[in-house]
Amino acid sequence: MLRRVKPGYVLSFGLAIIFGYMLDGWALLAAQLPDTFPFRLACFATAFVSMAFGISFFVRCKLPILPFDTVPREFIYAKGWSLKFARTAFDLINLVLMLGLGLIFLGYPAGIGVGTIFNALLMGTGSGFAISILDKHLDIQPRIPLLAKLS
């Protein structure tokens, strides 16, 4: 859509592979945790807040990031969209695509639960709130010029 490719895009796919392996490791650890609703709700809330701030840091640092965060960030800087709008639109598009693919190929919406829908609807708002806090208190800039040129 932006009709340009940056070197950081290639790096972001490598980071995605590493991220996938890390997720698998954390999933193994999380399987050992209690499965009670209050504990799961507390974990979800902690993860939601952590992700909102993590996304905000990724957007502001302008370093190569994971592909699913690169697309909204490009729309923020290239098109002037707000983080709230770009993230929510991107997440909802992905949710609809995954819902459709699950229904077409599996006959049911695989992996889409209440938490997935909640995140798709509200992660943009949470990230927008987090970035407004970060912008008030921090000046986040890459300190290594070569890294800044990658993205």
Per-residue pLDDT of 14-60, as tens digits, reads 888 898 899 899 889 988 999 999 999 999 999 999 999 988 888 88
Structural contact between residues 84 and 127, judged by C-beta atoms closer than 8 angstroms:
yes
pLDDT digits (tens, 9 = 90+) for 52-102: 998 888 888 776 677 777 788 888 888 889 889 999 999 999 999 999 999
Dihedral sign from CA coordinates of 121, 122, 125, 130: negative
Residue 31: DSSP 8-state: T
Residues 6+ apart with CB under 8 A from 134: 53, 56, 57, 60, 140
pLDDT band at 133 (very low <50, low <70, confident <90, very high): very high
Encoding tokens for residue 71? 């697309």
pTM over 0.85: no
Can you tell me the distance from the alpha carbon of 72 to that of 59, in angstroms, rounded to the nearest whole number? Answer: 9
HSE-CB of 117 using CA atoms within 13 angstroms: 6
Can you tell me the distance from the alpha carbon of 69 to that of 72, in angstroms, rounded to the nearest whole number? Answer: 6
* Predicted local distance difference test score (pLDDT) of residue 10: 76
Residue 110: DSSP 8-state: T
